[in-house]
Structures are given as structure tokens and as C-alpha cells.
Amino acid sequence: MSKTPIWKSIALSLTSDIAEGRYDTGDRLPTEAQLAAQHSVNRHTVRRALSEMAEQGLVHPRRGAGVFVAARPTDYPIGKRVRYHKSISASGKMPGKKILSLTTRAADGTEAEALQLAPGDKVHVYDGLSLADGQPIGLFQSVFPADRLPGILYALQDTQSVTKALQRCGIEDYTRVSTRLTARAATATQCLHLQLPQGAPVLHSAGINADLNSVPVEYGRTVFAGERVTLTLNDD
């Protein structure tokens, strides 16, 4: 198992400091010399860590003044009744979605099991980007049973909201049944969509949403930009 490079550990430590409120938006970070002394490394290592954070949009350098916090990682709760737009708005940021594709195809084995379908049954698939203040924070795929929700692709095209689209299809409310989280390194495609450097850490979330009769209506997969999002667990 490969060790995490020191510069990446420094970047993750500073990102955690920002997420936990030790540095607020607009605050200046310690100087390269101070960070080098703190972590017992040379300034080149610190500079690479700060450069990584700048690529993530977390900090920005000002010539002759230092490096300043550009944005705090977005808090995103994981719970039974989480709604994307409401959650991002509650974090003080502007939510947004970008549609990448809307398609219909046969369900794979994982999707069929999650949605209680027969292998090969048709599903409608919504691929897109989740945005916070215009910055991509998640690459997602939502999969819906086609026979039960025949018009959902049209509703998604119109609303770009899973909650509103489900309501148009007669699903007035739904809750999260299960969530599974794993951490990995981003693939080349994920880096392209999320505007991440090669090998950046990402969090994979897979979850099932069901209607009030406990019938699955959505199987969702999301890849979160690890340094831009703080996932929190709640019971709501």
C-alpha cells in the first residue's frame, strides 16, 4: 500500500482546518516558511500543497501578500430526507445542476437489485454535475425504473430536480433507504468533469431512495470532489 505524499498530507490537513472553521473565507494562511517549519519539510513541498489547493479552488495567492482562503468546503448531509438544493442553500452557497445526459437502457445487475427489477428491465438514467457557487462538487448518476416512471426524463429536462421530477410523476415524497460510502482516487474522466488534478481523492456514494410504501424509486451514485465537500451523517 503506497504512502500518501507529504505535500498531499499537508493539503488535506489545511483543507480540514478550513472545513472546521480554523480559517474562514478571506483569511490568510500561515506563510510558506511557517508551514514548512510546522510540518518539518522544505518550502517546495509546502508550495506544492498550496498549489494543489489553489487548483481545487480552496485558496488563492496574492502576489506579495500571501495565500488566502477562497472557499470553505461545502457541508453536505447524508440522511433519510436530504434534498440537494435545500442542503447546499443551507450551507450558504448557490446550488446548481448541469445535465450531462438523459438516456434509457437496460439495468445492470446492481441497478436491478437496488430497484427490485428483473435483470435487463429498462431504466431511465440521469447523468449530471452538482454545483455549489458554480463550482463542480459532485458527478452523479440517478437511475429510475422506466415502467413505473415513464415521463421522468422529460420532467428532469424541465426541472433539473429529482424531487420535482418525482412529484410530477406522482411520487410526492421519498426517503433514503441506504447509503454506502467509499474513498478512491479520481479517474481521468472524473478529474475532467470535476476539474480535479490527476489522482485527486474522491468519495463515492451509492444510495437507494424509496417512496412512502418502501418501493425503490431511485438508485443513485455520486462521486464527490473530496477536498470540496464535507459529508455529514444525520437521522433526518
Instruction: Note the pLDDT of residue 159.
Output: 92
Neighbouring residues of 3: CB distance < 8 A, sequence distance ≥ 6? none
Query: Rounded to an integer, what distance in angstroms lies between the CA atom of residue 67 and that of residue 70?
Result: 9
Pairing assessment for the beta strands 59-62 and 66-69 based on DSSP bridges: antiparallel
Cα separation, 80 vs 178, in Å, equals 8
- Taking Cα atoms as reference points, which of 204, 180, 189, 207 lies closest to residue 111? 207
132: nearest Cα among 210, 65, 61, 71: 71
Q: Cα Rg for the chain, rounded, in angstroms? A: 20
Place of cell 503506497: 2
In this structure, what DSSP letter does residue 83 have?
A: -
**54 in helix, strand or coil?**
helix
| DSSP one-letter code for 28 | B
The pTM for the full model equals 0.74
The pLDDT of residue 1 is above 60:
no
Mean pLDDT for 24-45 is 92
Report the C-alpha gap between 161 and 177 in whole angstroms: 19
Query: Mind listing the pLDDT tens digit for each residue in 166-206?
Result: 999 999 999 999 999 999 999 999 989 988 877 788 999 99
DSSP code, position 119: T
Q: Please write down the long-range contacts of 184-189, taking CB distance under 8 Å and 24 or more positions apart.
A: 186/223
Q: Tell me if 96 sits within 8 A of 84, measured CB to CB.
A: no
pLDDT at 61: 86
d(Cα 151, Cα 168) in Å, to the nearest integer? 9
- For residue 212, the Cα-to-chain-centroid distance in whole angstroms is 26
- Given this model, what pLDDT does residue 199 score? 79
For residue 2, name the pLDDT band (cuts at 50, 70, 90): low
Q: State yes or no: pLDDT of 217 exceeds 80.
A: yes
